[in-house]
Amino acid sequence: MKCIPSPVLISFLLAVAIPPAAGAAFDPAATHDRAARDKFVAAHVDLTTAPPISFLYGGKPSAGLFKSWPAKTDVRTAGAKTIRTTVYTDPATKLQVTVVTTSYADYPAVEWVARFKNAGSADTPIIEGLQACDAVLDGRPAGETVLHRALGSSAARSDFGPVKDVLAVGAETAFGPSGGRSSDTGALPFFNIASDGAGIMAAIGWSGGWKAVVKRIGPQAITLRAGQSATRFRLHPGEDVRTPSIALVFWKAPDRLAGHNLFRRFLLAHHAPAAAKKTDILPLAAGIGFGGPVPCNEYMCATESYSLAFIDRLRQFGIEPEACWIDAGWYENATKYWWSGVGSWRVNKVNFPRGLKPVTDAAKAWGGKKFVLWFEPERVYEGTLIDREHPEWITKLPNNPNRLFNLGDPAALRWLIEDISGTLKSEGVTIYRQDFNFDPAPYWKALDAPDRIGIAEMKHIEGLYAFWDGLLAAVPGLLIDNCASGGRRIDLETCSRSVPLWRTDYNYWEPNGYQCHTYGLQLYLPWSGTGNGDPRKYAWRSSMGGAIVVGWEMNAAFPVALGQQAMAEYRALRPYLLGDFYPLTEYGTGDEVWSAMQWDRPEEKDGIILAFRRPQAPADSIVVKPHGCDPAGDYELSFEDYGITVIKSGRELGEGLLLKIPEAPASLLVRYRRVR
């Protein structure tokens, strides 16, 4: 929907009177709190007697045990990383605890992970209450302390919505996901513990169940405990397991958003998947096999001829994505429902008699387009190929047709890596899309004996990482898309190997919810994607935030020119979307509010503002305060939808910028760059 400005509006935009005030440009380097990071390292890493983990071993606290166990340490460097490996050994039982800690020269960050191995000849005593992080963070500013965190995904408009917990002295907040997926419903495993002028960004790397507790134990001291949801186990001889990984990034600045942006930069520098870092962009993709009348669902009715024709139709009308996408339903299936075929990862030769290669070849021939293909390997439906041929690799629950493929079984893991990597290579797939549509926690619980609580989950999650690493090694240049009923498995470990191209299963194409999801998730994760079913500006811009997959039906009603313009606009704006992120309005899920967001690139001295007036918002204008502007500089602002350009000083912008949208719903794009 295009808004045409009136002469009055143009003059109003040009002549807004803003009172003078001081401002400040964002200097990323100035936000590094290296002193706080180094203090943490000195207390918890450099001393072999005090690693930042805890547990009970045979009923005895680990803090005392570490002081008496012999320890061996190795230190090496790898680029900006200093990697310290310390191995503690219990002389009596031969339990080995290995803590690998990584510090960074270019960021005030430290991260670690621990492994437990039974090097003895008998079962270990019970290990319980294992905390991957158990640390006191003292010397913090004495003012107000706030825990800024976010919800996980539950296919709701509130997905990734911000949560603010004010921590008085003695108060604590406990949070975590539900069901065994790391960002399911209750919590995202990224958060910011912000005090007056300084704080700590924290991240948990565990793709199963976890729990974190943040407690303020004094005016200047906080404890952070985080780990797997439940652990009480003994290890058999030769057996080893790992904990969740933990990362902390220490920041200092008057505005806590500086901490969020420092963390985003850290992820981009050190945790972005290799295939994504090569281009610094995520794909603009198009589904090529969806749709059809009942009983068609998802891609159940996709065929070779239909998919080839869809590619040809996109090309015919100049709708040019960077990847073509086939989702659930392409595999062998005895029923008309896509979910009942998961576990038979063989191409449906009725619909695709020559396999998928003719379709992927057509995409590649069309300017080297990539190809996305959907799998759900951890779920095995009753009667499918894996259920029939390898029942020893699956876990069943009574009266439930869904089984869990056991990634913790080495034989099953080897087979799955070989089987799926072989399919990817033979069928010409370049983006592997992994979904996970049910809760694994009950299956893990069914596998665990009373003295092995947590083991099944540990082995499955480590198997997941080994599976993805195996695919990446077997298929050069592969990009992994992480989907779990949308974005229910987003954490530090999955983000290091994959990207969430479809971050929520919330009401497909609904733009106001998509704005909410961008607002919440962009505070932590610079790369994620969502869908779009409408190329008009309000809906299209609501889908921006990293990657987009379009579900456009190329029929007589489709507005071809708008589709072409939308894709061109996205390609022009995409480089900005990895910039520093700032919400410019309060978070709100209602249809009666405005939502405005800014992406700023201080190195390039430019950025964009996207504003949305939702359908029931009564006010036709708001005033926002852009971030990152130098008060001594001048900035050229281009109001893209109105075709006008104005010059304002950074001092003026720091005080406020009027955004006016006469119609609802509608959007406004403002590009800016420093000109002096």
Mean pLDDT of 629-646: 97
Closest CA to 576 of 670, 461, 453, 676: 670
pLDDT of residue 281: 78
**Strands, sheet with 529-532, edge to edge from the N-terminal-most edge strand:** 479-482, 431-434, 370-375, 323-326, 284-287, 547-550, 529-532
Two structure tokens written together for 519: 């607002």
H helical segments located in 70-210: none
Mean pLDDT of 211-237: 98
- Distance in angstroms (rounded) separating the CA atoms of residues 508 and 24: 40
H helical segments located in 598-644: none
Q: How confident is the model at residue 49 (pLDDT cuts 50, 70, 90)?
A: confident
pLDDT of residue 279: 66
How many distinct helices (H) and strands (E) make up the chain? 16, 37
Model's pTM, two decimal places?
A: 0.95
Mean pLDDT of 19-41: 79
Contacts of 195 (CB under 8 A, 6+ apart): 140, 141, 142, 143, 144, 145, 146
C-alpha distances (whole Å) from 182 to each of 111, 209, 527, 634, 664 are 18, 6, 17, 45, 37
Q: What percent of the chain has pLDDT over 70?
A: 96
263-285: pLDDT as tens digits: 999 999 999 998 887 766 789 99
pLDDT of residue 18: 30
- Distance in angstroms (rounded) separating the CA atoms of residues 371 and 354: 17
Q: How confident is the model at residue 368 (pLDDT cuts 50, 70, 90)?
A: very high
501-539: pLDDT as tens digits: 999 999 999 999 999 999 999 999 999 999 999 999 999
166-207: pLDDT as tens digits: 999 999 999 999 999 999 999 999 999 999 999 999 999 999
94-121: pLDDT as tens digits: 999 999 999 999 999 999 999 999 999 9
Closest CA to 670 of 647, 650, 640: 640
Are 412 and 395 in contact by the 8 Å Cβ rule? The answer is: no
Q: Is residue 4 scored above 50 in pLDDT?
A: no
Q: How confident is the model at residue 475 (pLDDT cuts 50, 70, 90)?
A: very high
Mean pLDDT of 647-661: 97
- Kindly tell me the burial class for residue 59, based on how many C-beta atoms sit within 10 Å of its own C-beta (0-12, 13-18, 19 or more): exposed
Which residue has 């924290």 as its token pair?
202
Q: How confident is the model at residue 13 (pLDDT cuts 50, 70, 90)?
A: very low
448-465: pLDDT as tens digits: 999 999 999 999 999 999
Q: What single letter denotes the amino acid at residue 356?
A: L
Which residue has 């911000």 as its token pair?
162
